[in-house]
Amino acid sequence: MGGVSAARRDRQVVRLLTLLRILKEGGRPSIYELAARFHTRRETIYRDLRALQAIGYPIVGDAEGRLSHPGLAPEVRAAIPPVLLTQKELAALVWATKQVGSKQPFRAGLDGALLKLQALAPGKEAHLGLVLSGIVGGWARGTKDYTDFQGIILQLVEAIVARRRCLLKYQAPYRDRPNNFRYDPYRLLSIQGLLYCVGQVPVHDSLVTLAIDRIHAVTVTEEPFTVAPKFDLKQYEAEAFGVMWGKPMTVVVRFRPDQAPYVREREWHPTQKLRTLRDGRLELTFRAGGTFEITRWILGWGDAAEVVRPLSLRQAVATILRRAGSLYR
């Protein structure tokens, strides 16, 4: 319940700050327009207006005093100070910016936005932001270049928000030419620096996850869609080992003693459990789906990992290792 309350509180803070900015700029939107903008009820907007009044912002209505088109008097708007960032908030933004690789979409706009945010901060906070900007670095390998996919991403965002069906031109890696089909996009996903869209192809009953960089074109139609009741992103995240979703299975892997410290210091899956064996090996147990990605991860440990169960996974890894060994004879 605490997490739900915190999320609701954060949404209200964002609404209040955005609502105050709109009114400060002289806007007089209707309650209906505000409710539609924030995807909430009219009663919630009225409650937000009362909250602003309670902390000292005099909200005025129309000529008859009704709040159907709320506003702020000009003299009040001029007296409202700008919303300043705290030291921790600016540091968080600088840190997050530095984690975004140069080949991610919208990366070019981050530096300019960060400079503007630093300009709004008091001296000490701005100095911290500049210092962090200069001392935090890093890099990634095996990345994909998303700099040319900003338009496609924005179209998918539009379709997700408006719940409009898309026409996609998509090329799977095993095809020599793109395929055209209808697609209902549910969510955009960023997983280990790679971008995907999870949704449903209307003619199929299962979820389909598409790589953003394999989408050649998107057309947002006027045809609405409804998100499948069974779709649960939290469950999707909890049951998938990586990107691909499959029927969850209980996986048990035993690691050599010299590799146990490296296994122990990370969370490989939210469901994982660790057990140290008498001979010093470390046993890792988790429950997830996505056989291909689990197999590839296990193979990355070479002879330091042994699959105990399920038997089908153990046999699959053994077969691959035998084939790989034959390449080096």
Q: pLDDT for 90-139, tens place per residue?
A: 777 778 777 787 788 887 777 777 766 666 565 565 666 666 667 777 78
3-class secondary-structure state, position 80: coil
Residue 156 has pLDDT above 60, yes or no: yes
Predicted pLDDT at 51: 86
Predicted pLDDT at 163: 93
Strand 207-211 to 273-276 pairing: unpaired
Residue 302 has pLDDT above 80, yes or no: yes
Residue 322 has pLDDT above 50, yes or no: yes
**Confidence at 19, pLDDT banded by 50, 70, 90:** confident
**Averaged pLDDT of the chain:** 86
Of 250 and 107, the one with more pLDDT: 250
Helix axes 311-327, 291-299, angle to 10 degrees: 50
Rounded average pLDDT over 67-76: 77
- 155, two tokens: 């179209």
Distance CA 218, CA 158 (A): 11
Among the ranges given (125-139, 222-236, 279-293), the one the predictor scored with the smallest mean pLDDT: 125-139
Q: What percent of the chain has pLDDT over 90?
A: 47
Distance CA 163, CA 169 (A): 19
Q: How many CB atoms lie within 10 A of CB 4?
A: 8
**Confidence at 214, pLDDT banded by 50, 70, 90:** very high
Q: Where are the alpha helices (DSSP H) in the chain?
A: 2-24, 31-37, 42-54, 74-79, 87-99, 107-120, 123-135, 150-162, 233-239, 260-264, 291-299, 311-327
3-class secondary-structure state, position 75: helix
What are the pLDDT digits (tens) for 160-181? 999 999 999 999 998 999 999 9
Predicted pLDDT at 2: 45
Of 213 and 113, the one with more pLDDT: 213
Among the ranges given (14-23, 188-197, 242-251, 273-282), the one the predictor scored with the smallest mean pLDDT: 14-23
Helix axes 123-135, 87-99, angle to 10 degrees: 20
Of 272 and 105, the one with more pLDDT: 272
